[in-house]
C-alpha cells in the first residue's frame, strides 16, 4: 500500500505525457490521493519501502499528518476537476497538481534526511505551477515569481541545515544532531521552515499566491503545504529543548506578533482569499508558539494542524460554492461558511473550541505560557474580525462557473470532516463546554466590527454587496499598516531581502566550516 500511495501520482502524471492516454490521466487525477488516504487509515504496522537511495515508511507520526493531508488532496482534487473543466490550461495545472501531490505524500512518509529533502523540494517547487494557473495572468505570474524565489531560498536553507546537522555515518533521522550543530543548523532550519510555514517576516508569498491561484490550489497551499513546514520542523528539530531556550523565546515572540499582525493585515485586504491567507499567518503563529514552548506532544500538534487544515480548506472551497450557487443552495452555502467561521473563531460547542482548549490545557503555568494564554484569548477577537471581513468580501465574490455536484459534494464532505475531527477525543465534550471566557472575546470582535460598520470613510462598495451596513464594513482600511505590506511586496525590496538572506546563508556556511 505504501508503494501505491507514493507512485500513483507519478503513474498518472506519466499518462499525461502521451496524447492517447491523456484523457484517462485527466479523469483519474482527481483520485490520485485516495491510495494515500487508505494507507493512513490502515491499522497495524506497515513494512517500509525503499526506492533506490530513498526510504519511506508509514509510521504513526507520518500517518497522522497523512490522514488529513490525503483527505484534503482527494476532496480538493474532485473539486478541481469540476473547477478547471473547459479551461485551456487544465493539462499543465493537472501536471503541477500531481507532481505537488507526489512530493507532499513522499515527504510525510520519508524516513531519512535525503528522502525528506528531495520530496520537500519537489512539492514546494512544483506548486509554482498551481499559483501560475490563476485566471488573471499578470497577477499569477507576479505571485508565482515571488513564491518561487522564496521557496528557492527555503530549499537552500534546509540543505544547509541538513549538511551541518547530519553525521557522516547515516542520513537517518536518528543521526540528526541539530542542537550539537549549533547556530548554523538551527538558523538554517528555522529560516527554511519559517518560509514554508508562512511565518511573519517571510510570509510574503502567502497572500499573493492565494489571491492568484485557483480556489482548489489555494486550499491545498494553505491547508497542506503550509502544514508540511510544521511537519518538517517537528521531524528535524531536536525533541530535547535543552540549550535552545533563547531560540524558543525568539519563536514565541515571533508567533505572538504573527497572531495580531495577520489579523490587522487581513482586515485591510480587498480579496477574500487574501483575508484567508492572513488568517493562516495569524493561526500559524499560535501553532508556532505551542511548538516553541514544547508543551504539546507531536500527536496533539498533528491533531491541531489537521483541524486547522480542514477548516481552512473548507473556507476556500466554500467560497467557490457560494460564488456559483443561487437560491436555496446559496443560503446553504452561507450556512456552511458561517459554520466554518465559527470553528475558526473557536466559538463554544464547536470543534474549534475543542482545539483551542487543547492548546490551553497543554500549557504549563508561568512565563511565556501566561502570555500565550492571553494571546490565545484575544486571538478569538482577531479571528472574529477576519471572518467578518471575509464574509463581506465573499458575498461580492463572483465567477462565471455554474454549481455542479463536483463542487458542492467535496465541500460538504470536507465540512463534515471539519466538524467531527476533534470529537473522537474522550474529553472533547468537556473541552467544548460553554464558558464566559470563550464568549467575551468573540463579542468584543463583533462590537469592534459593528463600530467599523459605522465608519463612513470614502470607499466604494464592491459589486454584489447590497447591505449598507456590510458596505460600510468594506470601507475599513488601516492604511498605515497596509502600507507596510505594500512596501514589502515591491520587487526592489523583495530583491534586497533575498540578497540579504543569501549573504546571510553564505556567511553561516563559512562560520560553520
Tell me the three cell numbers of residue 418: 471539519
Report the run of H or E that residue 56 belongs to, with start and end: strand 54-56
The cell for 492 is 526592489
Q: Look up cell 480538493; give the residue.
A: 76
Report the alpha-carbon angle 123-150-210, nearest 5.
70
Q: Helix 245-266 and helix 272-293: axis angle, to 10°?
A: 160
Question: In whole angstroms, what is the distance from residue 435 CA to residue 324 CA?
Answer: 38
Which residues fall within 8 angstroms of residue 17, CB to CB, at 6 or more apart?
A: none
Separation between Cα atoms, residue 412 and residue 372, nearest integer Å:
34
Give the pLDDT of residue 471.
43
Q: Are 201 and 276 in contact (CB under 8 A)?
A: no
255-286 tens-digit pLDDT: 778 888 888 888 878 888 888 888 888 888 87
Q: Are 72 and 219 in contact (CB under 8 A)?
A: yes
Q: Which of 344, 343, 319, 345 is nearest to 330 (CA)?
A: 319
Is-contact 315 334, C-beta < 8 A? no
Residue 478: per-residue pLDDT: 47
Q: What is the pTM of this model?
A: 0.84
Report domain extents, the chain: 241-449
C-alpha cell at 139: 497577477
The length of the chain is 513
Of 307, 352, 404, 315, whose CA–CA distance to 71 is shortest?
307
- Residue 241, C-alpha cell as written in the block: 529543548
**Percentage with pLDDT > 70 across the chain:** 74
Q: Which residues contact 410 (CB under 8 A, 6 or more apart)?
A: 75, 76, 78, 79, 317
Give the span between the Cα atoms of 266 and 16, in whole angstroms.
39
Cβ-based neighbour number of residue 142 at 10 Å = 16
C-alpha cell at 361: 490545557
pLDDT digits (tens, 9 = 90+) for 85-97: 888 888 999 999 9
Q: What is the DSSP string of 406-454?
A: HHHHHHHHHHHHHHHGGGGSTTHHHHT---HHHHHHHHHHHHHHHHHHT
| CA separation for the pair 416, 506 (Å, rounded) | 48
Phi-psi bin for 326: left (phi > 0), alpha (psi -120 to 50), beta? beta
Instruction: State whether the Cα torsion 365-367-372-378 is positive or negative.
Output: positive
CA dihedral (439, 441, 446, 449) in degrees, to 10, reads -170
- C-alpha distances (whole Å) from 186 to each of 118, 166, 234, 236 are 20, 12, 13, 10
* Closest among 384, 387, 225 to 318, alpha carbons compared: 387
DSSP track, 221-260: IIIIIHHHHHHHHHHHS-S--TT-HHHHHHHHHHHHHHHH
Q: CA 53 to CA 39: how far, in whole Å?
A: 22
Q: Let me know: does 64 contact 302? Beta carbons within 8 Å.
A: yes
Distance, CA of 258 to CA of 253 (rounded, Å): 9
Compute the distance between CA of residue 186 and CA of residue 198 in angstroms, rounded to an integer.
Answer: 18
Cα(346)–Cα(429) distance, integer angstroms: 14
Q: Is-contact 318 397, C-beta < 8 A?
A: no
Cα angle 49, 164, 241 (rounded to 5 degrees) comes to 85
Sort 490 into a burial class: Cβ within 10 Å, 0-12 / 13-18 / 19+.
Answer: exposed
Residue 116 confidence (pLDDT): 85
**How far apart are the C-alpha atoms of 160 and 40, rounded to whole Å?**
31
Read off the pLDDT of residues 25-54 as tens digits, 9 standing for 90 and up. Answer: 899 999 999 999 999 888 777 887 887 778
Residues in the chain with pLDDT values less than 50: 178-179, 456-479, 491-492, 509, 512-513
Confidence (pLDDT) at 46? 80
> Cell for 346?
473557536
pLDDT in tens, 313-368: 999 999 999 988 887 888 888 999 988 888 888 777 777 777 777 777 655 555 56
- pLDDT, residue 171, reads 64
Say what angle helices 226-236 and 90-109 make with each other, to 10 degrees. 20
Give the burial class of 112: count Cβ atoms within 10 A of its Cβ; 0-12 exposed, 13-18 middle, 19 or more buried.
buried
Amino acid at each position: 500500500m505504501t508503494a501505491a500511495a507514493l507512485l500513483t501520482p507519478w503513474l498518472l502524471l506519466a499518462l499525461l505525457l502521451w496524447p492517447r492516454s491523456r484523457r484517462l490521466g485527466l479523469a483519474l487525477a482527481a483520485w490520485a490521493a485516495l491510495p494515500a488516504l487508505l494507507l493512513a487509515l490502515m491499522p497495524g504496522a506497515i513494512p517500509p519501502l525503499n526506492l533506490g537511495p530513498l526510504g519511506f515508511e508509514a509510521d504513526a507520526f507520518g500517518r497522522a499528518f497523512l490522514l488529513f493531508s490525503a483527505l484534503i488532496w482527494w476532496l480538493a482534487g474532485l473539486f478541481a476537476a469540476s473547477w478547471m473543466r473547459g479551461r485551456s490550461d487544465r493539462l499543465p495545472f493537472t501536471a503541477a497538481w500531481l507532481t505537488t501531490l507526489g512530493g507532499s505524500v513522499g515527504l510525510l512518509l520519508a524516513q531519512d534526511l535525503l528522502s525528506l529533502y528531495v520530496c520537500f523540494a519537489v512539492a514546494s517547487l512544483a506548486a509554482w505551477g498551481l499559483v501560475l494557473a490563476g485566471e488573471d495572468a499578470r497577477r499569477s505570474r507576479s505571485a508565482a515569481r515571488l513564491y518561487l524565489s522564496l521557496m528557492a531560498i527555503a530549499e537552500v536553507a534546509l540543505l544547509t541545515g541538513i549538511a551541518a546537522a547530519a553525521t557522516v555515518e547515516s542520513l537517518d533521522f536518528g543521526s540528526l544532531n541539530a542542537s550539537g550543530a549549533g547556530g548554523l543548523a538551527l538558523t538554517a532550519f528555522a529560516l527554511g521552515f519559517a518560509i514554508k510555514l508562512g511565518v511573519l517576516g517571510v510570509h510574503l508569498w502567502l497572500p499573493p499566491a492565494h489571491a492568484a491561484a485557483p480556489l482548489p490550489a489555494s486550499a491545498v497551499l494553505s491547508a497542506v503545504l503550509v502544514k508540511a513546514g510544521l511537519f518538517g520542523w517537528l521531524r528535524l528539530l531536536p525533541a530535547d529543548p535543552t540549550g535552545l531556550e533563547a531560540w524558543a523565546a525568539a519563536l514565541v515572540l515571533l508567533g505572538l506578533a504573527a497572531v495580531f499582525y495577520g489579523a490587522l493585515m487581513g482586515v485591510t485586504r480587498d480579496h477574500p482569499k487574501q483575508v484567508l491567507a492572513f488568517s493562516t499567518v495569524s493561526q500559524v503563529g499560535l501553532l508556532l508558539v505551542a511548538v516553541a514552548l514544547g508543551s504539546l506532544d507531536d500527536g496533539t500538534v498533528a491533531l491541531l494542524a489537521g483541524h486547522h487544515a480542514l477548516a481552512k480548506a473548507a473556507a476556500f472551497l466554500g467560497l467557490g460554492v457560494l460564488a456559483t450557487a443561487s437560491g436555496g443552495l446559496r443560503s446553504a452555502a452561507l450556512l456552511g461558511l458561517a459554520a466554518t467561521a465559527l470553528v475558526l473563531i473557536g466559538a463554544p460547542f464547536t470543534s474549534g473550541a475543542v482545539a483551542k482548549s487543547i492548546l490551553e490545557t497543554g500549557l504549563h503555568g508561568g512565563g511565556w505560557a501566561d502570555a500565550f494564554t492571553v494571546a490565545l484569548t484575544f486571538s478569538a477577537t482577531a479571528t472574529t474580525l477576519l471572518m467578518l471581513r471575509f464574509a463581506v468580501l465573499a458575498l461580492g465574490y463572483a465567477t462565471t462557473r455554474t454549481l455542479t455536484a463536483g463542487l458542492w459534494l467535496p465541500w460538504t464532505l470536507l465540512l463534515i470532516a471539519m466538524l467531527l475531527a476533534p470529537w473522537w477525543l474522550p474529553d472533547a465534550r468537556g473541552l467544548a463546554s460553554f464558558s464566559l471566557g470563550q464568549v467575551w472575546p468573540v463579542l468584543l470582535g463583533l462590537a469592534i466590527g459593528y463600530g467599523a460598520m459605522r465608519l463612513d470613510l470614502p470607499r466604494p462598495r464592491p459589486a454584489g454587496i447590497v447591505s449598507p451596513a456590510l458596505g460600510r464594513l468594506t470601507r475599513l482600511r488601516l492604511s498605515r499598516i497596509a502600507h507596510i505590506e505594500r512596501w514589502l511586496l515591491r520587487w526592489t525590496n523583495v530583491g534586497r531581502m533575498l540578497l540579504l538572506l543569501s549573504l546571510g546563508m553564505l556567511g553561516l556556511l563559512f562560520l560553520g566550516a
